[in-house]
Amino acid sequence: MSLEPNNILAFHALMAPATAYSANPVKPITDKVVASDLLFGNQIGLVTAVQGRNNARLVFAGSLDLFSDKYLDNQDFANAEFADAVTKWGFQESGVLRMTNVKHHRKDGSQPAKMLSDANRGDQPITLYPDAEVARDSLVYRVKDNLTYSLDLHELKDGKWVPYKYNSMTFQAPDVYGIFLFRVMYRRLGLSTIYTTTQVSLRPFKHDEYERFIPAAYPYYASAFSMMAGVFLFSVYFLFYDGKQ
């Protein structure tokens, strides 16, 4: 069995040695056949595994003899261990990840605000304050906030879920407001794929959250103040200069 180089869903669980080759025994081995039909070394998959995008698994073995008692009882090779490992993988008894405790917050630990807060107006009829057609529970961050996104991964080993080691990540929100997704796609060879999305909103800076003076605007500040000074001097000259020598 052979695989396309760009196939990300399949891999060789057991490859042939470097000196092996595979060809059609019916056809004579000619230059034309060598160019099209021959496979060499690790291009040949004796056992090939496929994992779909929905984490469904298939295992293709080149021969059923691999799982026969004759091969499994041979103590000179690790056939029994390999057969046990590949069948456990195929039946989702190993190499399975699960995701729990997905959460996100600002780097300082503060939680995001909600899109709308409940208005407590018990003295007014409820019909005066109908619910807006927005998601009240939509979480909102500010642009350029430093955010932390975390989740817990566990791997199934020997029938038990054990913590799976992975790297956490802290990142800065983009400088553009709008609706964004936290998207996690964790794919590793031989492990089930983890995919999740979380929708959040980013708001722009409020008027009182900007810096009082922005360094990039110093030329404009200088031009404004120079214009004010020029108008002041011109006014003094115009009001108090009588034109007499």
Q: 245 lies in a domain? A: no
Count CB neighbours of 84 within 10 A.
14
pTM: 0.66
pLDDT value, residue 165:
81
Q: Give the model's pLDDT for residue 32.
A: 59
Are 18 and 105 within one domain? no
Give me 245's structure tokens: 């020598």
What number of other Cβ atoms are within 10 A of residue 192's Cβ?
A: 20
Low-confidence residues in the chain, pLDDT < 50: 132-133
| pLDDT (0 to 100) of residue 20 | 81
**For residue 233, is it within any domain?**
no
Shared-domain flag, residues 121 and 196:
yes
Same domain, 104 and 187: yes
pLDDT value, residue 29: 62
| Confidence (pLDDT) at 16 | 85
Query: What local confidence, expressed as pLDDT, does residue 94 receive?
Result: 92
- Do 77 and 106 belong together in one domain? no
Domain tally, the chain: 2
Same structural domain, 101 and 157: yes
pLDDT computed for residue 212 by the predictor: 77
* Domain annotation covers residue 191: yes
**101/85 same-domain check:** no
Q: Which domain holds residue 169?
A: 97-203
**According to the model, what pLDDT value does residue 60 have?**
92
